């Protein structure tokens, strides 16, 4: 019987892991409260809206939405700090390298079920591109969200920081549309992310799910991108 040994690699710092779970909670909260704000429940007796209860409920939902938005923004800054001080958190796409595109084709063929396996990576090119796309969408939501939030006080500091976004996008209506549709794009990409993570967990058994709690992955072979992480643990497990 052959022994199946794996090497433990430390990849994700506490900064990245904490941000990940805060982002999950905040995106879920922001999405559902945002849907309610977009189309609040207005039914009352004989179809007439009960304005007192409606205003109270809508204000509460809006406050929850704003609290989640500020929390997500703070954690995003926290994530940037981790990116600066932790080498393993800087797994951005190296699009200028040939190996990046070879990895992209290798992993894409595997996910499309064209080939059974792919080479060993700590963070493959497809995952890295998806992170850039997600962070870009989160940044768009933060900018457009705060631009709308501070419109109530056009002379305040917030309006000074974010007031340029409204005219840049062509008006408040366009900004609302962008904010709304990018939110849907984030949620749809989250479904794809969950599918790929669970699929990798069962097919490759490298600890893809648990890595967001422990920060480590267990790989059979030395990963091609090993030089881009902070540490390589010497522990080897069956």
What is the distance between the terminal CA atoms of the chain, rounded to a whole angstrom? Answer: 13
Q: Alpha-carbon distance 210 to 120, whole Å? A: 18
> 174 lies in a domain?
yes
How many structural domains compose the chain?
Answer: 1
For residue 1, being part of any structural domain is answered with no
**Residue 193, token pair as written in the block:** 């992310």
pLDDT tens-place values along the chain, 238 residues long:
445 677 888 888 888 888 899 999 999 999 999 998 887 765 554 555 555 556 668 888 899 999 999 999 999 888 888 888 777 677 778 888 888 899 889 888 888 888 888 888 888 888 888 888 999 999 999 999 998 888 777 776 776 788 888 888 888 889 999 999 999 999 999 998 888 888 888 877 777 888 888 888 888 888 887 777 655 454 444 4
In a domain, residue 194? The reply is: yes
The pLDDT of residue 43 is 52
Is 184 among the domain residues?
yes
Per-residue confidence (pLDDT) for residue 140, from 0 to 100: 94
Domain containing residue 103: CATH number: 1.20.950.20
| Domain housing 99 | 6-237
* pLDDT given at position 234: 44
């Amino acid at each position: 019987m052959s022994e199946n040994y794996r090497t433990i690699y430390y990849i994700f710092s506490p900064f990245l892991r904490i941000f990940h779970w805060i982002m999950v909670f905040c995106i879920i909260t922001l999405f559902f409260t945002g849907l309610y704000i977009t189309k609040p429940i207005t039914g009352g007796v004989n179809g007439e809206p009960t304005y007192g209860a409606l205003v109270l409920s809508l204000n509460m939902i809006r406050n929850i939405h704003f609290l989640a938005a500020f929390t997500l923004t703070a954690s995003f800054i926290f994530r940037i700090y981790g990116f600066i001080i932790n080498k393993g958190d800087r797994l951005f796409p190296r699009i200028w390298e040939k190996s990046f595109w070879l990895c992209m084709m290798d992993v894409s063929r595997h996910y499309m079920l064209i080939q059974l396996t792919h080479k060993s990576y700590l963070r493959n090119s497809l995952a890295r591109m998806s992170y850039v796309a997600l962070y870009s969408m989160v940044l768009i939501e933060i900018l457009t969200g705060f631009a709308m939030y501070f419109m109530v006080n056009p002379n305040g500091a917030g309006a000074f920081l974010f007031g340029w976004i409204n005219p840049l996008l062509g008006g408040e209506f366009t900004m609302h549309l962008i904010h709304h549709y990018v939110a849907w794009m984030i949620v749809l990409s989250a479904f794809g992310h969950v599918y790929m993570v669970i699929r990798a967990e069962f097919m490759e058994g490298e600890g893809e799910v648990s890595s967001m709690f422990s920060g480590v992955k267990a790989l059979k072979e030395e990963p091609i991108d090993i030089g881009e992480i902070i540490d390589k643990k010497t522990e080897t497990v069956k």
